[in-house]
Chain A
């Protein structure tokens, strides 16, 4: 039995309604407890900011395309190298670090749970192998259904229950967590070098539209009673004028769940562009934020970009090719049979590029203009907008108007003409940041039920103690300290064990993978469905029996079971 007592912590625990109190936190056997014995090991937090462990609800860290980002980029690997030290393995990489690199850097920043934003079902085993080598965070995998033939056929037949059955079989087979749609319909069209351009475009050969796919999947998701909502990367990412597509998409969303959103819109910065070409691209963050504010059934994450180099990687194959036509650096693409696609290109976001300046402003604007922090997560769509190590800088930008002004002064001077940012005064407070980096994520992902995202007795003891003293620190003025403080915890505690201290990882780590399994009535069990089995016989290149991810790949799996309402 291991016991810990954190004394004198300045706690913000939004899910428990604690908004900044000096208190003690007791930990027993990996969980928060009411109290511990007198022999418990004591950590003196000395009035430092103490939060539930950070949760990233959208990041690309493990799996086929992430690893290909490393494989094709020795220049990025060289840009972040550390030697073996104590329990820490060698790490390489800046924007796409090796698995241990990701894990250590997240841990040092106080993050204890990370959702991989896009897992192709056929290649799920790869994602799980890398999860095991990311030992300091509990991992979850969004599972791609955007170009899934069985789904599109169900949508065409208007058979929502069949769509739900496909999701149930697949998530259970690949040990996935939630439904991800990346440019729905677009990834199938890309199989022919084409794309869909609005939510009403037809997907070639399948006779369905993105709007129909999105609507069907939102409802199928609720039929399965999954913890998370559908997680959507909208159509037309990165295209000037795409805010209309985004607004049309938000219009589609019904309010079906009283515990969380019914649709999670990811990296919304990339979907909030006005104008019609790269010459007149402008911020439509006000329109988008208004739509989000008026629609409690949606939650978003920022998808902030930060200046410097990074690697873009997404299941959105056609978008990556368009981006390659702009950058002409190097381009990888990897379409996945019957399911989805992906693309990768390195990019450099420059303050000298007006387009990049507008993009930078939009992300911040969204976070400041969406009123409810519970529905706006802090993210960079790591590494697409920037590597996650930039989060502390983003936090500082959101908390300090002065910092923003200093940064705006460095931008292309025309930027102010295209964005509302200079006129926005709002400065987020510690509580907002706590919501946007952990509590909001836990709620949006629906994982509070397994003890994530809060610090009340019974919760998992995932805790971050930052060298920041909110009682005496003015984040508006002392934003440099805010940045430094969020970059390196004094303690990161994972499941009741100190895993990182003052920038060093101190244990080998042993994480869990969280996945969902929906029990469906026998009539909806696709493992014996002749139509579904035929897909494997005739069109997949892997046998159905070799497709599911075996239990051995999840040495410490946590299954969230649900009963489907079919």
Chain B
């Protein structure tokens, strides 16, 4: 059976034009998808049953047993952390947050190690953005700053920017200027009209220089800024100012390098400055297919996009204190539920060590690095393949992922609902 207009649950592009052929409970072919999509749909490496640790080994267990054990771990803890959420659908995220609410837990999503700093910057200065179709139909100048879409978001250029013809740009590849800013000459940089190579940690200075030029202060620019020549800075600024509609996409090259949130703030303020002359937008390149959804769901329930602490009864938010890496490295939490992410692989070692020290439970379809650190793992259906639910694209557009076949695994929602019910019973009204 061939299914049209399938939504890809891999990256923040959330492409919704895949054609997937299914035989029984197996995907046999994928059309229109990138390499990542093909691997995602064709991948067949699921954990078969729930497992839990017994001494120095692992044993299979049942869903009921594993969920009951998880509930007890969470209820016994004084300071549980519920982490992850970006690889599942919004309905499951919502239950997770309410679970944290009754547990008085910390709840955090993977933004904490991707665009958390972008959120902090947006909370200082706002965010002039748009949906990706605005860029596709209008943008004549596109910048990728500290991001390499060819590897991380393989269809971003073909669906939304460089290669995407739009209403006002009939021949996008010819009519649209591409600027890539990075510390290394990435694949994406190879096809840019202008590649700006910055010394590591120099983004803030280069953004400041561009802001000064846009403000008409060319005279104060030194011959070179963080490895970028004045001539190139002028050339880039002229390109920006000549745009009818410009779009800046930025990635972890800004959020993770020196300056972090202040880099983003500077980039947003450059965008704001450019809006005094022409139309400009800026947008983070969100990684997980539903990381933006986790920010949305967190926000409408708690008021904050990530790093929420319910220990005081109210929702308390203080990134740097209530963020997962900080909480784990301070050895503060005494139990952890990981849902739909892999902190063992993506956090610093000290955090992984603490996850191994405390009872950690993972709800995830696959064996990953965190599996080895956990006490229990509960395999679930993969949203977009054998489970469905809401996802938010990197630009905020909500799309419902599809269930392509009914498999034997329960969804995240089903497992979390059962967990929530037991915890609620233990905790009382």
A residues within 8 Å of B by Cβ? 62, 64, 67-68, 70-74, 77, 81-84, 86, 89-93, 97-101, 122-123, 125-126, 129-130, 133, 149, 190-193, 205, 321, 330-338, 341, 344-345, 538-543, 545-546, 550
Confirm or deny: B295 has a beta carbon within 8 angstroms of a beta carbon on chain A: yes
**Within the complex, what minimum Cβ distance (angstroms) separates B90 from chain A?**
7
Beyond A74-B304, A98-B300, A546-B7, whether A333 also contacts B245 by CB under 8 A is no
Find the B residue at minimum CB distance from A89. Answer: B101
Confirm or deny: B125 has a beta carbon within 8 angstroms of a beta carbon on chain A: yes
A99 x B301 contact (CB < 8 A):
yes
Confirm or deny: B358 has a beta carbon within 8 angstroms of a beta carbon on chain A: no
**Within the complex, what minimum Cβ distance (angstroms) separates A320 from chain B?**
10
Residue of A64, A98, A193 near B302 (CB, 8 A) is A98
**Cα separation A334 to B90 with both chains bound (whole Å):** 21
| B126 surroundings in chain A (CB, below 8 A) | 72, 330-333, 344-345
Confirm or deny: B49 has a beta carbon within 8 angstroms of a beta carbon on chain A: no
B130 x A83 contact (CB < 8 A):
no
B127 x A335 contact (CB < 8 A):
no
Total CB contacts across the A-B interface at under 8 A: 182
A540 x B125 contact (CB < 8 A):
no
**Within the complex, what minimum Cβ distance (angstroms) separates B18 from chain A?**
10
| A99 surroundings in chain B (CB, below 8 A) | 300-301
A321 x B131 contact (CB < 8 A):
no
Find the B residue at minimum CB distance from A65. Answer: B396
Given contacts A335-B281, A539-B166, 5 further A-B contacts (CB under 8 A): A62-B300, A74-B303, A90-B314, A129-B297, A539-B167
B131 x A122 contact (CB < 8 A):
yes
A74 x B317 contact (CB < 8 A):
yes
A64 x B396 contact (CB < 8 A):
yes
**Cα separation A89 to B126 with both chains bound (whole Å):** 28
B101 x A126 contact (CB < 8 A):
no
A192 x B127 contact (CB < 8 A):
no
**Cα separation A122 to B167 with both chains bound (whole Å):** 18
A333 x B130 contact (CB < 8 A):
yes
Q: Is the interface of B mostly helix, strand, loop or mixed?
A: mixed
**Within the complex, what minimum Cβ distance (angstroms) separates B355 from chain A?**
27
A192 x B138 contact (CB < 8 A):
yes
Beyond A99-B300, A338-B133, A545-B5, whether A332 also contacts B127 by CB under 8 A is yes
| A92 surroundings in chain B (CB, below 8 A) | 302-304, 314-315
Confirm or deny: B134 has a beta carbon within 8 angstroms of a beta carbon on chain A: yes
**Within the complex, what minimum Cβ distance (angstroms) separates A318 from chain B?**
11
Q: Is the interface of A mostly helix, strand, loop or mixed?
A: mixed
B residues within 8 Å of A by Cβ? 4-5, 7, 16-17, 90, 94, 98, 101-102, 119, 122-134, 136-138, 159-160, 165-168, 244-245, 272, 275, 278-279, 281, 295-297, 299-305, 310, 312-315, 317, 390, 392, 396-400, 429
A125 x B390 contact (CB < 8 A):
yes
**Within the complex, what minimum Cβ distance (angstroms) separates B129 from chain A?**
5
Beyond A72-B122, A334-B130, whether A126 also contacts B396 by CB under 8 A is yes
A77 x B131 contact (CB < 8 A):
no
Beyond A83-B314, A542-B16, whether A336 also contacts B300 by CB under 8 A is no
| B138 surroundings in chain A (CB, below 8 A) | 191-192
A333 x B129 contact (CB < 8 A):
yes
B128 x A546 contact (CB < 8 A):
no
B303 x A546 contact (CB < 8 A):
no
Q: Which of A86, A129, A539 has the most CB of B within 10 A?
A: A129
Beyond A331-B128, A539-B167, A541-B133, whether A193 also contacts B278 by CB under 8 A is yes
Residue of B16, B160, B272, B296 near A126 (CB, 8 A) is B296
Residue of A90, A101, A336 near B101 (CB, 8 A) is A90
A90 x B399 contact (CB < 8 A):
no
A126 x B128 contact (CB < 8 A):
no
| A333 surroundings in chain B (CB, below 8 A) | 126-130, 281
A550 x B101 contact (CB < 8 A):
no
A70 x B303 contact (CB < 8 A):
yes
**Within the complex, what minimum Cβ distance (angstroms) separates B301 from chain A?**
6
| B305 surroundings in chain A (CB, below 8 A) | 71
**Cα separation A23 to B302 with both chains bound (whole Å):** 42
Find the B residue at minimum CB distance from A102. Answer: B300
Q: Which of A101, A149, A333 has the most CB of B within 10 A?
A: A333
A72 x B278 contact (CB < 8 A):
no
List 9 A-B pairs, minimum CB-CB distance, nearest first.
A337-B133, A92-B303, A83-B313, A77-B303, A193-B279, A330-B126, A335-B130, A125-B398, A332-B126
- Give 28 A-B contacts (CB < 8 Å), ordered by A residue: A70-B303, A71-B296, A74-B317, A77-B303, A84-B310, A90-B313, A92-B303, A92-B304, A97-B303, A122-B131, A123-B131, A123-B396, A123-B397, A123-B398, A125-B400, A126-B296, A129-B90, A191-B138, A205-B168, A331-B126, A332-B128, A333-B129, A334-B396, A335-B131, A335-B134, A336-B134, A541-B159, A542-B397
Find the B residue at minimum CB distance from A550. Answer: B400
Find the A residue at minimum CB distance from B429. Answer: A86
| B304 surroundings in chain A (CB, below 8 A) | 70, 74, 77, 92
**Within the complex, what minimum Cβ distance (angstroms) separates A147 from chain B?**
11
A337 x B131 contact (CB < 8 A):
yes
**Within the complex, what minimum Cβ distance (angstroms) separates A220 from chain B?**
23
**Cα separation A26 to B350 with both chains bound (whole Å):** 65
Beyond A70-B300, A90-B101, A129-B90, whether A193 also contacts B123 by CB under 8 A is no
Residue of A72, A77, A205, A546 near B399 (CB, 8 A) is A546
B137 x A129 contact (CB < 8 A):
no
| B102 surroundings in chain A (CB, below 8 A) | 84
**Cα separation A84 to B272 with both chains bound (whole Å):** 39
| A332 surroundings in chain B (CB, below 8 A) | 122, 126-129
Residue of A98, A192, A550 near B245 (CB, 8 A) is A192
Find the A residue at minimum CB distance from B136. Answer: A541
**Cα separation A337 to B301 with both chains bound (whole Å):** 27
**Within the complex, what minimum Cβ distance (angstroms) separates A546 from chain B?**
5
B279 x A77 contact (CB < 8 A):
no
| B119 surroundings in chain A (CB, below 8 A) | 71
**Within the complex, what minimum Cβ distance (angstroms) separates A66 from chain B?**
8
B132 x A541 contact (CB < 8 A):
yes
**Within the complex, what minimum Cβ distance (angstroms) separates A132 from chain B?**
9
**Cα separation A545 to B400 with both chains bound (whole Å):** 11
**Within the complex, what minimum Cβ distance (angstroms) separates B265 from chain A?**
10
A546 x B127 contact (CB < 8 A):
no
A539 x B281 contact (CB < 8 A):
no
**Within the complex, what minimum Cβ distance (angstroms) separates A117 from chain B?**
17
| A64 surroundings in chain B (CB, below 8 A) | 396
Residue of B98, B167, B244, B315 near A77 (CB, 8 A) is B315
| B245 surroundings in chain A (CB, below 8 A) | 191-193
| B131 surroundings in chain A (CB, below 8 A) | 122-123, 334-337, 541
**Cα separation A84 to B303 with both chains bound (whole Å):** 14
| A126 surroundings in chain B (CB, below 8 A) | 296, 392, 396, 398
| A86 surroundings in chain B (CB, below 8 A) | 429
Residue of A73, A123, A130, A545 near B300 (CB, 8 A) is A130
B137 x A539 contact (CB < 8 A):
yes
